[in-house]
Copies of this chain bind each other. A is one copy, B any other.
Amino acid sequence: MLIRVINPNTSAAMTAAIGAAAARCAAPGTVIDCVNPTTGPASIEGHHDDALAAVGVIEQVRAGEALGAAGHVIACFGDPGLNAAREVATAPVIGVAEAAMHMATFVATGFSVVTTLERTCIISEHLVHNYGFTRQCRAIRACEIAVLELEDPGSGAYERIEEECRHALREDRSGAIVLGCAGMADLRDRLQGALGVPVIEGVTAAVKLLEGMAALGLRTSKRGDYAAPLPKPYTGWMARFAPGAA
């Protein structure tokens, strides 16, 4: 069973790290194919990066569908392009913010999101509102770490994240931590060990959700809001995205 994990940014190092985290948690029989778009931002730290990264997500979901993927993970905490991806996929598609937040509600009455830069908090806030978790999400906290710093062992990122998590547990009355960046996937185990509460990370959460959904035969509904895009011409560079194009 093939699960495509799509890192929506174009940083190969982060793609590798995300893929490794996904592979570590995958069941026997699951093949993780971790990819990133051929074009787009090197990291996603705002609405502009997010909107443009959605193009690459769509590109990769289409490619994954052609390969017969059993599921797709959008491995950026803004879940860029999620609804569009669901239109082009028949396999299920899950965003990592979505996956992590849902999982967190199963182990605690309230969770705190700990993320990178303050300017990304609005995106998380928007997702929380849309997924319905305004009561369960007790705080969204930034560490003021740039996304690509997470890949730099000398950046002190782990220490700053752990410290922010401790603030969250003390001040937010939260019982669990949601890591607010796919780039934090390989910090989860260490953080959970250090903090003694569930630490939920979306890449691994999404992989396990997709494995479960595949076993149940649950795929994206093609009735109504996620029906395939209507065939029509797309002009210029995007002609390749035209629904129904050969």
Contacts and interface: CB of A to CB of B under 8 A. Distances in A.
Q: Chain A interface: which size bin?
A: 35 or more
A233 B42 contact: yes
Contacts of A47: 83-84, 86-87, 225-226
Given A135-B129, A221-B197, A221-B198, A55 B192 contact: no
B235 A223 contact: no
Interface string A59-87: 00000000000000000000001011011
A204 interface: yes
A213 to B, nearest CB: 7
Interface string A161-205: 000000001000111100000000000010010001110100011
Interface in A218-236: 218-227, 229-230, 232-236
For the complex of A and B, 7 pairs with smallest distance between CB atoms: A39-B236, A208-B212, A132-B132, A175-B221, A51-B84, A47-B83, A48-B229
Interface of A: 10, 25, 27, 37-43, 45-52, 54-55, 58, 81, 83-84, 86-88, 92, 94, 98, 102-103, 105-110, 118-119, 121-122, 126, 129-136, 146, 169, 173-176, 189, 192, 196-198, 200, 204-205, 208-209, 211-213, 215-227, 229-230, 232-239, 241-243
